[in-house]
Amino acid sequence: MEEQGTRELDGDELFEHFRFVASKGQEPLRVDKFLMNFIENATRNKIQQAAKTGNIWVNDAIVKQNYKVKAGDEVKVLFEHPPHELLLVPENIPLNIVYEDETLLVVDKPPGMVVHPGHGNYSGTLINGLIHHLEHLPMNTNERPGLVHRIDKDTSGLLVVAKTEAAMTHLAKQFFDKTSEREYVALVWGNMDNDTGKIEGHIGRNPKNRLQMQVFPDGEEGKEAITHYKVLERLGYVTLVSCKLETGRTHQIRVHMKHIGHTLFNDVRYGGDRILKGTVFTKYRQFVENCFKALPRQALHAKTLGFVHPKTGKQMQFDSVIPDDMMQCIEKWRGYSKQSRG
Q: Is the pLDDT of residue 11 over 70?
A: no
Question: How does residue 43 score in pLDDT terms, banded at 50, 70 and 90?
Answer: confident
Other CB atoms within 10 A of residue 289 CB:
11
Whose CA is closest to 1, among 71, 78, 49, 79?
A: 71
Whose CA is closest to 188, among 142, 148, 236, 143?
A: 236
Query: Domain map of the chain by residue range?
Result: 2-81, 85-176, 181-341
Provide the pLDDT for residue 313.
Answer: 96
Do the domains 2-81 and 85-176 sit in the same CATH topology, yes or no? no
Provide the pLDDT for residue 110.
Answer: 96
Q: Is the pLDDT of residue 178 over 90?
A: no
* Superfamily name and number for 85-176: Pseudouridine synthase (3.30.2350.10)
Q: Is the pLDDT of residue 170 over 90?
A: yes
Please compute the mean of the pLDDT values over residues 109-129 and round it to a whole number.
Answer: 83
Provide the pLDDT for residue 7.
Answer: 38
Q: Is the pLDDT of residue 235 over 80?
A: yes
* Spacing of C-alpha 282 from chain mean position: 32
Rounded to whole angstroms, the Cα distance separating 207 from 5 reads 19
Name the helix (H) or strand (E) containing 6: strand 2-9
> Kindly report the CA angle at 221 between 145 and 299, in degrees rounded to 5?
55
pLDDT in tens, 273-300: 999 999 878 899 999 999 999 999 999 9
Alpha-carbon dihedral sign for residues 217, 220, 224, 225:
negative
Pick the CATH number of 181-341 from 2.30.30.190, 3.30.2350.10, 3.20.20.70, 1.25.40.10: 3.30.2350.10
CATH class given for the domain over 2-81:
alpha beta
Q: Are 265 and 291 in contact (CB under 8 A)?
A: yes
The count of residues in the chain is 342
Helical H segments across the chain, by residue range = 31-38, 44-52, 84-87, 126-133, 165-176, 252-259, 282-294, 324-341
Question: How does residue 16 score in pLDDT terms, banded at 50, 70 and 90?
Answer: low
Other CB atoms within 10 A of residue 7 CB:
9
pLDDT in tens, 240-274: 999 999 988 889 999 999 999 999 999 999 999 99
| pTM, entire model | 0.77
What count of Cα atoms within 13 Å lies in the side-chain half-sphere of residue 59?
8
Helix pair angle (44-52, 31-38), 10° resolution: 130
pLDDT in tens, 61-70: 889 989 999 9
Question: How does residue 314 score in pLDDT terms, banded at 50, 70 and 90?
Answer: very high
Catalytic (active-site) positions: 152
Residue percentage of the chain with pLDDT more than 70 = 89
What does the mean pLDDT of the chain come to?
Answer: 87
DSSP for 276-300, written as a single string: -SS---HHHHHHHHHHHHHS-S-SE
